[in-house]
Amino acid sequence: MHPMLTIATRAARAAGQTIMRAYTELDRVEVSSKGINDFVTSVDKEAEATITYQIRKSYPDHTVIGEENGENRGENKDYVWIVDPLDGTNNFVRGIPHFAVSIAVQYKGKIEVAVIYDPVREELFSAVRGKGAKLNDFRMRVTNVNDLSNTMIGTGFPFKARQHTESYMAILSEVFPLCADIRRGGSAALDLAYVAAGRLDGFFEIGLKPWDIAAGDLICREAGGTVTDFMGAHNYMISGNIVAGSPKVTTQLVKTMRPLLNEGLKR
């Protein structure tokens, strides 16, 4: 196993233990608001500290970028760990058992190692660049479909980017009749992992952050998927607007969405 994958897995599982301990005592979890429908809990912070500790034990000079604590710069600028300690905080806070730990390792700007861990189901989605993607110990592949009919598409509402609500609803209205059904799970990391595992055929969302998608990006691509922004380009880590799926599904989603984009989504 790739040594950094070993550490990422260890860190994700340790954070998962922290999260599940708190999940059994939700009434004791401290919750504060970062914005409209955007929460942070004491568990997010504790899980991120657990992950950073595990990384620092093996790689004390690497840089760690976490959702809660920002950039923890190390002397080695080439290696950057991008961490979301609890993706799906809103689900967690309400007791909905659908959330995950997301960890990606970037080397000189490219994601090399990725782990998404669902501590409820004890499912570990992982990938190493050029080595394929796995769910626990089994290889994953995206679905092999040729068009949107009979597909299951994942999405997320733009609750942090409500200025795009009208465009998003137009896209949803156009996509829904073309596919079998649409799911909104509440964790972008798990949505991308589910695309890689063939549970979803495609996924799109507006306004995500790098820690939401860095790990899922590599896992999805290593499972044979295609990941783009809404224009079919590769600016999604900056714009946060992402489309992922089996290659033909991604192509058809982009083709369907492109005429409906406002100017703010064309980047």
- Strands (DSSP E) found in 46-189: 62-66, 70-72, 76-87, 100-107, 110-118, 123-128, 133-135, 138-139, 152-156, 181-183
Cβ-in-10-Å burial (0-12, 13-18, 19+) of 126 comes to buried
Is there a contact between 202 and 195 (Cβ–Cβ < 8 Å)?
A: yes
Residue 67 is assigned to a ligand binding site? yes
Please give the Cα distance from 223 to 168 (Å, whole number): 27
Amino acid at 121: R
Residue 44 is assigned to a ligand binding site? no
Residue 5 is assigned to a ligand binding site? no
In the 8-state DSSP scheme, what is residue 35?
A: E
Residue 87 is assigned to a ligand binding site? yes
Residue 84 is assigned to a ligand binding site? yes
Binding residues: 67, 84, 86-87, 212
Q: Which residues are annotated as a binding site for Mg(2+)?
A: 67, 84, 86-87, 212
